[in-house]
Structure 1
Amino acid sequence: MFNNGKDAKREQAELSGSSTQIMKGTTVEGNIETFGNVRIEGKIIGNIKSKSKIALGDSSFVEGNIISQNAEIAGEVTGTVEVTDILTLKSTANIKGDIITGKLIVEAGAVWNGTIKMGNAPKESKEHILNGRTEEQKEAVK
């Protein structure tokens, strides 16, 4: 009865160690939100939010916003990418949208069209990317 706080923390730690995989040939329409890691090789039409790491393979396509602690992108993203720690753009990455990240690693050949804000991005940057977005996209960014 008094262990609710400890149980909740243990459950959150277990969830952050879990993994979700969307493989090549799979299309998902809708938002994905998880505490654990996400690996995508397929197509996602919707926002992806993870408290851990999101990895997009070279065959991946995401039409929506990405929010995570860490991310590695080798595929195509149309939307805002917001990573609190380290974002790695592989040589096959193609980003069409704004990037907000703590640290950025870019391999030769990666392409992006949009603005990049690094470090502790001020709140105005979030307001900037909210303009012109749907309510659902705005919620994913917040």
Structure 2
Amino acid sequence: MNGEDGDITIISHGVKLEGKISSGGSIRVDGEIKGDIVSQGNVTVGEQGDVNGQINATSVTVGGKVVGSVNAKEKIIMESKANLKGDIFTKILVVEAGARFDGKSNMGDAKEPPKPQGLNPQKNETGS
């Protein structure tokens, strides 16, 4: 896809997909996806939508269920019926009353999720 404005891929209610989805445009999920979503546009998970995987997009709106990390370069909106279990990375976070969130949030630069921090190799806890 070339990412033109107006390109929207719709996963309708009743549709079940497994695998990675990549799009140059926006994606709306009202069905079930087991796998990662990568979009150059926006991703919307509708009230009946169910995503089990990571989401990477410019902006993400969650109205349904997401299990997995969400990385939005600009903004994440969690609507009142949202149920998100996973870590989120974004610049702007909007959480409506009633939304459920279980995870960690990082509102720094969301271009890519931060790398796990390890122990400082110069420190030796045994003193030797």
SS of 1:12's equivalent in the other structure is: coil
In angstroms, what is the RMSD of aligned CA positions?
1.7
Percent sequence identity over matched residues? 35
Separation in 1 of the partners of 2:44 and 2:3?
A: 20
Name the CA shift for 1:121/1:21 in 2 (closer, same or farther; >3 Å).
closer
Query: Which one has the bigger helix percentage?
Result: 1
The residue number in structure 2 matching 1:61 is 50
Tell me the TM-score normalized by structure 2.
0.84
Residue deviations 1:61-115 (CA, integer Å, cap 9, x gap): 1000000001110010110000010110000111110000110111001111110
| Runs of 4+ more than 6 Å apart | none
The residue number in structure 1 matching 2:115 is 127
Count matched residues: 116
Name the CA shift for 1:108/1:98 in 2 (closer, same or farther; >3 Å).
same
1:79 matched to 2:68? The reply is yes
Tell me the TM-score normalized by structure 1.
0.76
Which amino acid is the alignment partner of residue 24 of structure 2?
F
Separation in 1 of the partners of 2:105 and 2:46?
A: 22
